A and B are shown apart, each in its own frame.
Chain A
Amino acid sequence: MTTAMQDSPGHESAGTKTYLRIDDLTKNFGAFTALRDVSLEIYEGEFVCFLGPSGCGKTTLLRCIAGLDYQTAGRIAQGGTDISALPPSERDFGIVFQSYALFPNLTVQKNIAYGLENRKVGKADTERKVAELLELVGLEGQGPKYPAQLSGGQQQRVALARALATSPGLLLLDEPLSALDARVRVHLRHEIRQLQERLGVTTIMVTHDQEEALTMADRIVVMNHGVIEQIGTPTEVYGTPKTAFVADFVGTMNFMPGTAAGAGRVRLGTVELNCAAMNGISEGTPVTVAVRPEDFVVRCTDGANGNAFEAEIDDMEFLGSFYRAELKVPGMGESRIVVDLSVNAVRDLELAGGRSLPVAVPSDHILVFPAD
């Protein structure tokens, strides 16, 4: 078996050797620009997610990497070789589409063996490989069935096995889980990730589901309107979003209009707060201040160096492991902020609708973006 089938040390230690390199990629469909100056590097053995809203160009980027669409400008290099102009059949990748595109008239076995048959692999070797792959994706004994006789999740695994059969250096997945129902989806996330770690195959997965990206990816490429907004690990993308778009798209975020008040301070209505990063915004500029619901603190607010304000609980929703509350801040006008309260805080402080309380925000959890 080739190197791709060998076990890789695992998740955290994905190599730092560049495997795929994209430089200034632009793709136009007529007058419409689907991708604009996209540059990125993907390391060997890495699991990367392209994340963004529908229509932002994720699939287009994936198809350019596969050679199914050609970029208008820019270059793509895989394993050190420029593949920009190569047709798909001369590139090295396996692909799984949202529809799976399983050949309906061929059995599961034949589907998986489809790419092997053309490579002068002996019959016995092919059979052994197919059995191995069936076991790998947990479909032992399903070989003689036709795709229509399998469930969605099983079909998805067959597509995966078929794409992996020829041991490609790069695995491309276009929304592989979006056609499945929620329960199967969560289960398959782990399976795909585990499989990828075992094989160590460099993988790119397209998704519009931020939870999927956060749980599966080594690094996430957040895209919007054909440009890359941010590239980073799930923690980076969630914790320190570089743009208001990323902050909004990944996770839940409170956005509050304010003004830069100079030297690490922002003003929101009559409230003034310290913040760690001002991103070089000069005093008096209108800004958008962003805080995650879980970053507000309601206990020991005295120690918050004055980064606290009074608020009144407008509405509270119990979500099992925590409460999500809507707070009215007298100093900030009509808009509400969403705050997550732990169950024990609600219990200990006897919080309920209508109660007023001091709320603090640690200065390093306040994000400031230029207002648009």
Chain B
Amino acid sequence: MAVTTIGAGAVKPKVSGDERMMRVGIVVIGLFLLIGLLLPLYAMMSKSFQDSDGNFIGLANYAEYFSTPALFFSIYNSLTVSVLATVITISFAFVYAYALTRSCMPFKGVFRAIALIPILAPSLLPAISLVYFFGKQGIIKSWLFGESIYGPIGIVIGEVFWTFPHAMMILVTALSITDARLYEAAAALRTSKIRTFFTVTLPGAKYGVISAIFVVFTLVFTDFGVPKVIGGQYNVLSVDIYKQVIGQQNFEMGAVVSVVLLIPAVISFTIDRIVQRRQVALLSARAVPLEPKPNRTIDTSMLIVCGIIAFVIVSIIVMAGYASFVQFWPYNLNLVLSNYDFDVMDGGGWDSYTNSIQMAAWTAVIGTAFIFTGAYLVEKGQGFKKGRTVIHFLAILPLAVPGMVLGLSYIFFFNHPDNPFGFIYHTMAILVVVTIAHFYTVSHLTAVTALKQMDPEFEAVSASLKVPFYKTFWRVTVPVCMPSIINIAVYLFVNAMTTVSAVIFLYAPDTTLAAVAVLNMDDAGDIAPAAAMAMLIFATNAVLYSIYSLGTRGLQARTQAWRKR
């Protein structure tokens, strides 16, 4: 019997086969996050302190950056559009979320579905659509009173559209978890509706609002698609990285801008984590759910406001869709399919679409399996506490890293001649790896939430029955968590289809992607084909999402029969 006793009765537990296997799993996940995240970031940061020959030159690059107004002025620009877009998005999203949770407005299901539309489209799509509305030949160009859409106005409108669903979902959650008793107390004290709103509703949703602010701010601050298409001469940080690297081949300056972009993102991320930790405590409190009561005035005004917001969202999509069929905007408005003939245009043709589907499918399958298993090991593993804590931290980190920064970091790391993993550079594999790494956090947190709802003693019971952990994982954990697993897969697929920033530096001639093709066609002036490709991405995601929504109902009925009493 392998009993090892040390000193005065101290016990050194024997490591079981299960535990050994779990440790190996944790180490594998750790290595992935090390190679797919930490080492590339390190390579990028060290590059920012080097000259083009790789010699260490201290802060010289930073000195150059901050003495070039054309460069550092982008910080101001990025902050300006981010703050503006955040304020506008949060205001609209709050009203919308309020209407969905606290009013008796009709058609809530439809409104909720419409609000989610922007998630399914690449951020390039609203920007292209805005060109058709307000561009040089836009149909309602005059509404801007002579201002140009190419610049901060276009960026802000595009970003508001694109970040709206993210803010709305957070706020719906925050407004759903309230205690009806507070409102009853307020009513009993004859508090006016307005006062109740400011003394009960707002404080209750406080953490949700703060969290939504940081999420939207970070999304806008780091987004590349919208400013790339509609930013014009208005430089922002993410586009600067692109220009430095692709336009001027100045990789060192690209690294400097990346660090400048990374810092606020990390700060914003850190604050958000702290805020969210508090909200968890709020969630676990037992509360009586609030049932909204009909109120003619409120319900009607909510319907009008939400109707306008929903109309704008739908028009932006419809405009891109319409433009994609128009033969020659604005002179020949015949509807044709020629813009979908991608093979005669730059950007990779139809291959880029099939590449995207392939890449998204691999990301969804491998990413989900990998991330869910990782979350399981972190959450349910025994022993090796240090390893599990490190993985959990590393899994949260990608949320703080902008896609552009991650993509550029991959160039420095994987393109290095001494890197043994260099062989994946310029392959489909590196696109899948970077996408999994980029969207790791949300998937990981979804998995952790699902796993936390499982009885913590399942593993103990199966050990007592001498059933190896992987068997219980496969027979119990995976089936019970299936809804969340599918949710993660859909999330990864949709994002892999729409992402531009992480992959823009990494695709090769035979691995062009649809979203990148949108950008390149737009760059080449082929706006209608760009709109067509963006619509194709959107349609693909919309179909998948509809199947998912309808399918989960059917799946729930069949495989989750045990949930019913």
Residue A163 at the B interface, CB < 8 A? yes
Bound complex: CA A94 to CA B457 (Å) = 13
Residue of A at shortest CB range from B463? A88
Determine whether the beta carbon of A82 is less than 8 Å from that of B1.
yes
Most interface-central of A81, A93, A148 (chain B CB within 10 A): A148
Bound complex: CA A98 to CA B210 (Å) = 39
Determine whether the beta carbon of B11 is less than 8 Å from that of A104.
no
**Size class of A's contact patch?**
35 or more
Residue B55 at the A interface, CB < 8 A? no
Residue B14 at the A interface, CB < 8 A? yes
Q: Which residues of A lie under 8 Å from residue B10 when comparing CB positions?
A: 72-73
Q: Which residues of B lie under 8 Å from residue A136 when comparing CB positions?
A: none
Bound complex: CA A204 to CA B463 (Å) = 18
In-complex Cβ contact of A146 among B11, B16, B476, B561 (8 A): B561
Determine whether the beta carbon of A97 is less than 8 Å from that of B457.
yes
Q: Which residues of B lie under 8 Å from residue A87 when comparing CB positions?
A: 13-16, 18-19, 463
Residue A57 at the B interface, CB < 8 A? no
Residue A328 at the B interface, CB < 8 A? no
Residue A235 at the B interface, CB < 8 A? no
Determine whether the beta carbon of A89 is less than 8 Å from that of B463.
yes
User: If A87-B18, A88-B464, A97-B457 touch, does A105 touch B562 (CB 8 Å cutoff)?
Assistant: yes
Residue B115 at the A interface, CB < 8 A? no
Per the 8 Å Cβ criterion, residues 213-258 of A in contact with B are none
Interface string of A92-129 (1 = CB under 8 A from B): 01110101010111100000001101110000000000
Q: Which residues of A lie under 8 Å from residue B18 when comparing CB positions?
A: 87, 89
Residue of B at shortest CB range from A88? B463
Residue A274 at the B interface, CB < 8 A? no
Q: Which residues of A lie under 8 Å from residue B19 when comparing CB positions?
A: 87
Residue A85 at the B interface, CB < 8 A? yes
Bound complex: CA A104 to CA B559 (Å) = 12
Q: Which residues of B lie under 8 Å from residue A68 when comparing CB positions?
A: 460, 463
Residue A45 at the B interface, CB < 8 A? no
Determine whether the beta carbon of B460 is less than 8 Å from that of A74.
no
Determine whether the beta carbon of B461 is less than 8 Å from that of A101.
yes
Q: Which residues of A lie under 8 Å from residue B563 when comparing CB positions?
A: 104, 148
Bound complex: CA A87 to CA B464 (Å) = 10
Residue of A at shortest CB range from B564? A148
Bound complex: CA A24 to CA B19 (Å) = 27
Bound complex: CA A243 to CA B563 (Å) = 49
Residue B565 at the A interface, CB < 8 A? yes
Determine whether the beta carbon of B476 is less than 8 Å from that of A106.
yes
Per the 8 Å Cβ criterion, residues 1-44 of B in contact with A are 1-5, 8-19
Determine whether the beta carbon of A105 is less than 8 Å from that of B480.
yes
Determine whether the beta carbon of A101 is less than 8 Å from that of B458.
yes
Determine whether the beta carbon of B14 is less than 8 Å from that of A86.
yes
Residue A75 at the B interface, CB < 8 A? yes
Q: Which residues of B lie under 8 Å from residue A82 when comparing CB positions?
A: 1, 3
Q: Which residues of B lie under 8 Å from residue A105 when comparing CB positions?
A: 476, 479-480, 560, 562
Per the 8 Å Cβ criterion, residues 427-467 of B in contact with A are 455, 457-458, 460-467
Q: Which residues of B lie under 8 Å from residue A104 when comparing CB positions?
A: 480, 562-563
User: If A72-B11, A74-B11, A89-B18 touch, does A163 touch B464 (CB 8 Å cutoff)?
Assistant: yes
Residue A6 at the B interface, CB < 8 A? no
In-complex Cβ contact of A71 among B11, B457, B468, B472 (8 A): B11
Determine whether the beta carbon of B463 is less than 8 Å from that of A103.
no
Determine whether the beta carbon of B13 is less than 8 Å from that of A103.
no
Determine whether the beta carbon of A114 is less than 8 Å from that of B465.
yes
Q: Shortest beta-carbon distance, B15 to chain A, in Å?
A: 7
Determine whether the beta carbon of A148 is less than 8 Å from that of B465.
no
Q: Which residues of B lie under 8 Å from residue A93 when comparing CB positions?
A: 464
Residue of B at shortest CB range from A70? B13
Q: Which residues of A lie under 8 Å from residue B467 when comparing CB positions?
A: 114-115, 117-118
In-complex Cβ contact of B464 among A72, A84, A94 (8 A): A94
Bound complex: CA A68 to CA B471 (Å) = 19
Residue A176 at the B interface, CB < 8 A? no
Determine whether the beta carbon of A73 is less than 8 Å from that of B3.
no
Determine whether the beta carbon of A89 is less than 8 Å from that of B3.
no
Residue A169 at the B interface, CB < 8 A? no
Q: Which residues of B lie under 8 Å from residue A86 when comparing CB positions?
A: 1, 3, 13-14
Q: Which residues of A lie under 8 Å from residue B457 when comparing CB positions?
A: 97, 99, 101
Q: Shortest beta-carbon distance, A61 to chain B, in Å?
A: 15
Determine whether the beta carbon of A118 is less than 8 Å from that of B460.
no
Determine whether the beta carbon of B460 is less than 8 Å from that of A95.
yes
Residue A162 at the B interface, CB < 8 A? yes
Q: Which residues of B lie under 8 Å from residue A168 when comparing CB positions?
A: 464
User: If A84-B3, A149-B565 touch, does A118 touch B13 (CB 8 Å cutoff)?
Assistant: no
Residue of A at shortest CB range from B15? A87
Residue of A at shortest CB range from B454? A104
Bound complex: CA A162 to CA B467 (Å) = 13
Residue A147 at the B interface, CB < 8 A? yes
User: If A87-B15, A104-B480, A148-B565 touch, does A114 touch B464 (CB 8 Å cutoff)?
Assistant: no
Q: Shortest beta-carbon distance, A331 to chain B, in Å?
A: 51
In-complex Cβ contact of B1 among A81, A115, A148 (8 A): A81
Bound complex: CA A91 to CA B4 (Å) = 16
Residue A166 at the B interface, CB < 8 A? yes
Most interface-central of B15, B464, B466 (chain A CB within 10 A): B464
Bound complex: CA A66 to CA B459 (Å) = 13
Bound complex: CA A88 to CA B460 (Å) = 8
Q: Which residues of B lie under 8 Å from residue A348 when comparing CB positions?
A: none
Residue A372 at the B interface, CB < 8 A? no
User: If A82-B1, A101-B461 touch, does A90 touch B16 (CB 8 Å cutoff)?
Assistant: yes
Task: Give me the 4 closest cross-chain CB pairs, A-B, nearest first.
Answer: A115-B465, A87-B16, A101-B457, A88-B463
B interface residues (Cβ-Cβ under 8 A, vs A): 1-5, 8-19, 455, 457-458, 460-468, 471-472, 475-476, 479-480, 560-565
Q: Could you list 22 examples of A-B contacts with CB < 8 Å?
A: A26-B9, A67-B463, A73-B9, A73-B11, A81-B1, A84-B5, A84-B11, A85-B3, A85-B12, A87-B18, A89-B466, A89-B468, A91-B464, A94-B465, A97-B460, A101-B455, A101-B461, A103-B458, A104-B563, A115-B467, A118-B465, A147-B562
Given contacts A85-B13, A114-B467, A119-B466, 14 further A-B contacts (CB under 8 A): A72-B11, A84-B11, A85-B2, A87-B15, A87-B19, A91-B464, A94-B464, A103-B476, A115-B464, A115-B467, A118-B466, A148-B563, A148-B565, A149-B565
